[in-house]
Amino acid sequence: MEKRGSPDGDPARSLEQGPEGLEGPETPIQVVLRVRPMSAAELRRGEQSALHCSGTRTLQVSPPGGGPDVAFRFGAVLDGARSQEDVFRACGVRRLGELALRGFSCTVFTFGQTGSGKTYTLTGPPPQVRRAQGEGVPVPPNLAGIMQRTFAWLLDRVQHLGAPVTLRASYLEIYNEQVRDLLSLGSARPLPVRWNKTRGFYVEQLRVVEFGSLGALMELLQMGLSRRRSSAHTLNQASSRSHALLTLYISRQTMPPADPGEPPVGGKLCFVDLAGSEKVAATGSRGELMLEANSINRSLLALGHCISLLLDPQRRQSHIPFRDSKLTKLLADSLGGRGLTLMVACVSPSAQCLPETLSTLRYASRAQRVTTRPQAPKSPVAKQPPRLEIEMLQLQEENRCLRAQLGQIDPKASRLSGARVAWAQRNLYGMLQEFMLENERLRKEKSQLQSSQARARDEQRLLAQQVHELERRLLCACYGPQPRPGPAPPCPCVMVPAAPCPVMSPKAPGDMPLCAQPPPWAPPGNPGSAKCPRERSHSDWTQTRVLAEMLMEEEVVPSAPPLPMGTPNTPPVLRGEEEREGGGAAVPNLARRLEALRDQIGSSLRRGRGQAPPSEAARSPSRVLPPC
Ligand code: ADP
Ligand code: MG
């Protein structure tokens, strides 16, 4: 039969193929068939076998009285000659165990007619009771069933995982439509089956026992088996009269934990031993036995009905009556939900049982077309509320902008410590905190840089004003008040209006601005400046000297180097950059201009006193007033 889920129809393998497997691909229920050997009683009665295996996956059924054989194909077909160990190895329960360790919810259940070997396959032959002590004798190891073998395998596997694992178990039975706790400390009373959105169907107040060793788990199994209802009837001396569910809960902490608060990965492995369907007439059940048989049949009927509906693609989308019985409620996740399921169909080979055997085979064939969508628990990061993710993205964006802005001003600031980034990458909350701290730091640095930039600009403006004022005062001292465009502070040196100097006239030909005119202290290259034709009055010189002496006492000591003078649109340049790039000429220029002004005033004073000016050779070129 064609199987879905993976190319070779192996659901466990398809789940192990990668992350997309964890998203819940459609995975069929895995079905294997076990044919028990003919019992001594059947052989005594001379019953014939109607079944024979063809290869490892096909069963041929020969109808009594001739007719063509009917073939059924399953994941594996195990005949009566196969040992318990063979069944354990071939049925694929270890793959389910692996998936349970990874957080999947897995179920193994046996299904078939009463006396077909369901309980034997799961837990071996019924435990012998030593009459003297009233104790159960453990099943011999070679006859131990799938459950005991899986327990041993799982505990061994857990030991080699290298990660802490917590193991717990619960064990219940559904008897006459009542759930009873097989591990309860007191008398077993019926427990309610409830439903909620996160857990689905669950049994309230069920005792879940933590265990740490194979021995402890075996004791729990023994306790449950001895409490389970069984009766003798014609088809089976120890016929189970209830459906029994033993569940292992596996809480595994991944190593190393991505987050200290990360919840453990929780998987489940549930073993279900169904009570067998039976024809009441054939088993000869009366009274209580008949009541039990009817309720067993009713719940198995509900199970069959659910399976039929699950197979119908149209009805599957609508309502599946899992609520019709306790059994279907508790198997709902295994059959149609997010779990992984393995069904071990058990049949008797006897031709006398053929109608029930055919019914079981048809049932099992249909079951392997039922699919589930297995899902492992999502990682904690994926569970973060979307609000946090949005907030994180916004902070990341703000952080990026701030870094870019700061990088323009101070390239060193854009570097981040690798260790901090690594820490931040560990989790979403960590990253949020890290971004907030980082943003805060960047904001502070940016505002500090902006305020120091503003301070530097103020100082520059002040210095430029002082220089300008000095120049103006010098001109006033030399030539009397000059007409100035726009409002200007009154010139402190206006005493006697001086006749305009033909050379220095503000109305010079070409209307050159005043500052562009050759100044009176221009170097000798300017012949006109060497001997100014105009004679100054005594009062001129007196005022000039007083003013110049006053000005020479002024000290201009900037607290911070000013920014270069530029057009108003020129972007601000940092001190360091200005010096590196040779843009720091403005400050020395201003200083030189101040000094040249002082020199010029000094020489004017000396001339006024009749002293010879210092020789040209003594003048440093730097003393020439730089251009405005
Ligand atoms: P079910 O649980 O299906 O009603 P059991 O598992 O109780 O049936 O089996 C009925 C009887 O058949 C038991 O005595 C059991 O020991 C025996 N039996 C079942 N399967 C096998 C087997 N594979 N090999 C030997 N004996 C078996
Ligand atoms: Mg049984």
Residues 65-79: tens digit of each pLDDT: 777 889 999 999 999
Please, what's the largest Cα pairwise distance for the chain? 157
The predicted structure's pLDDT at residue 441: 80
pLDDT interval class at 345 (50, 70, 90): very high
Q: Which long-range contacts (CB under 8 A, 24 or more apart) does 214-222 make?
A: 214/151, 214/152, 214/155, 217/151, 217/155, 217/167, 217/169, 217/248, 218/138, 218/148, 218/151, 220/169, 220/171, 220/183, 221/123, 221/147, 221/148, 221/151, 221/171, 221/246, 222/127, 222/136, 222/138
Mean pLDDT (whole number) for 426-431: 54
Backbone angles phi, psi at 247, to 5 degrees: -120, 130
Sequence-ordered alpha helix ranges (H) in 135-278: 146-159, 214-227
The predicted structure's pLDDT at residue 256: 62
Mean pLDDT (whole number) for 200-228: 92
pLDDT interval class at 143 (50, 70, 90): very high
* Dihedral over Cα of 375, 377, 379, 385: its sign: positive
Q: Are 173 and 245 in contact (CB under 8 A)?
A: yes
Lowest mean per-residue pLDDT among 17-21, 198-202, 439-443: 17-21
Mean pLDDT (whole number) for 412-425: 50
pLDDT interval class at 88 (50, 70, 90): very high
Does 305 or 155 have the greater pLDDT score?
155
Tell me whether strands 128-130 and 76-78 are parallel, antiparallel or unpaired: unpaired
On the question of pLDDT at 294 being above 80, the answer is: no
Does a cis peptide bond (omega within 30 degrees of 0) precede residue 256? yes
- Measure CA 170 to chain center: 33
Mean pLDDT (whole number) for 30-57: 93
Maximum average pLDDT range among 284-288, 300-304, 340-344:
340-344
Looking from the CA of residue 126, the nearest atom of ligand 1 is 16
Query: Which residues have CB under 6 Å of ligand 1?
Result: 36-37, 39, 112, 114-120, 125, 236, 238-240, 276, 346
Does 227 or 486 have the greater pLDDT score?
227
Name the residue of 36, 243, 271 to mutate for ligand 1: max ligand atoms within 8 A of Cβ. Answer: 36
Residue type, 208: V
The predicted structure's pLDDT at residue 437: 77
Closest among 306, 347, 357, 566 to 457, alpha carbons compared: 566
Instruction: Dump pLDDT digits (tens) for 8-31.
Output: 344 444 443 333 334 467 888 999
Instruction: Dump pLDDT digits (tens) for 594-605.
Output: 677 777 777 766
Lowest mean per-residue pLDDT among 281-285, 458-462, 603-607: 281-285
The predicted structure's pLDDT at residue 605: 65
On the question of pLDDT at 271 being above 90, the answer is: yes
Residue type, 13: R
On the question of pLDDT at 619 being above 80, the answer is: no
Q: How far is CA 185 from CA 191, 223, 558, 574, in A?
A: 14, 11, 90, 81
Question: How far is ligand 1, taken at its centre, from the CA of residue 348, in Å?
Answer: 9
Angstrom distance (rounded) from CA 216 to CA 211: 6
How would you classify residue 66: left for phi > 0, otherwise alpha for psi between -120 and 50, otherwise beta? left
Which residue is it, tokens 């069984």? Answer: 230
- Measure CA 558 to chain center: 56
Angstrom distance (rounded) from CA 406 to CA 413: 7
Backbone angles phi, psi at 520, to 5 degrees: -65, -20
Q: Are 36 and 235 in contact (CB under 8 A)?
A: no
pLDDT interval class at 329 (50, 70, 90): very high
Name the residue of 120, 272, 343, 346 to mutate for ligand 1: max ligand atoms within 8 A of Cβ. Answer: 120
Take residue 504 and report the two structure tokens written for it: 């220095």
Looking from the CA of residue 237, the nearest atom of ligand 1 is 14
Take residue 5 and report the two structure tokens written for it: 């889920």
For the chain, the helix, strand and coil percentages under 3-state DSSP, each to the nearest 5: 45, 15, 40
Percent of the chain with pLDDT over 70: 57
| 533 DSSP assignment | S
Residue type, 19: P
Average model confidence (pLDDT) across the chain: 71
Lowest mean per-residue pLDDT among 3-7, 250-254, 450-454, 589-593: 3-7
Question: How far is ligand 1, taken at its centre, from the CA of residue 428, in Å?
Answer: 55
On the question of pLDDT at 535 being above 50, the answer is: no
Find the ligand nearest to 353 CA.
Answer: 1
Angstrom distance (rounded) from CA 75 to CA 31: 6
The predicted structure's pLDDT at residue 248: 96
Angstrom distance (rounded) from CA 101 to CA 165: 9
Take residue 241 and report the two structure tokens written for it: 């009269």
Q: Which H or E run includes 252?
A: strand 243-252
Exposed/middle/buried for 448, CB within 10 Å: 0-12, 13-18, 19+?
exposed
Does 277 or 412 have the greater pLDDT score?
277
The predicted structure's pLDDT at residue 307: 81
Closest CA to ligand 1's atom 20: 117
Lowest mean per-residue pLDDT among 172-181, 361-370, 462-471: 462-471
Instruction: Dump pLDDT digits (tens) for 571-617.
Output: 333 333 333 433 444 455 666 766 777 777 777 666 655 554 444 44
The predicted structure's pLDDT at residue 67: 78
Which residue is it, tokens 């202290």? Answer: 521
The predicted structure's pLDDT at residue 377: 63
On the question of pLDDT at 219 being above 60, the answer is: yes
**Neighbour count for residue 191 (Cβ, 10 Å):** 18
The string of DSSP codes covering 598-628 is HHHHHHHHHHHTTPPPPPGGGS-GGGSPPP-
The predicted structure's pLDDT at residue 393: 66
Take residue 59 and report the two structure tokens written for it: 């069963």
Question: How far is ligand 2, taken at its centre, from the CA of residue 293, in Å?
Answer: 13
Find the ligand nearest to 81 CA.
Answer: 1
Residue type, 551: L
For residue 342, the SS3 value is strand
Closest among 484, 480, 492, 472 to 534, alpha carbons compared: 480
pLDDT interval class at 405 (50, 70, 90): confident
Angstrom distance (rounded) from CA 380 to CA 261: 9
pLDDT interval class at 259 (50, 70, 90): low
Lowest mean per-residue pLDDT among 138-142, 208-212, 231-235, 485-489: 485-489
Does 271 or 277 have the greater pLDDT score?
271
Q: How far is CA 529 from CA 72, 122, 489, 520, 524, in A?
A: 124, 122, 29, 5, 7
Tell me whether strands 30-35 and 340-347 are parallel, antiparallel or unpaired: parallel
Instruction: Dump pLDDT digits (tens) for 106-133.
Output: 999 999 988 899 999 999 998 765 555 5
The predicted structure's pLDDT at residue 316: 65
Closest CA to ligand 1's atom 5: 117
Closest among 345, 347, 332, 334 to 29, alpha carbons compared: 334
Question: How far is ligand 1, taken at its centre, from the CA of residue 146, in Å?
Answer: 13
The predicted structure's pLDDT at residue 315: 66
Looking from the CA of residue 110, the nearest atom of ligand 1 is 3
The predicted structure's pLDDT at residue 264: 65
Looking from the CA of residue 122, the nearest atom of ligand 1 is 6
Exposed/middle/buried for 37, CB within 10 Å: 0-12, 13-18, 19+?
middle
The predicted structure's pLDDT at residue 63: 80
The predicted structure's pLDDT at residue 135: 58
pLDDT interval class at 539 (50, 70, 90): very low
The predicted structure's pLDDT at residue 490: 42
Q: How far apart are the first and last CA of the chain?
A: 99
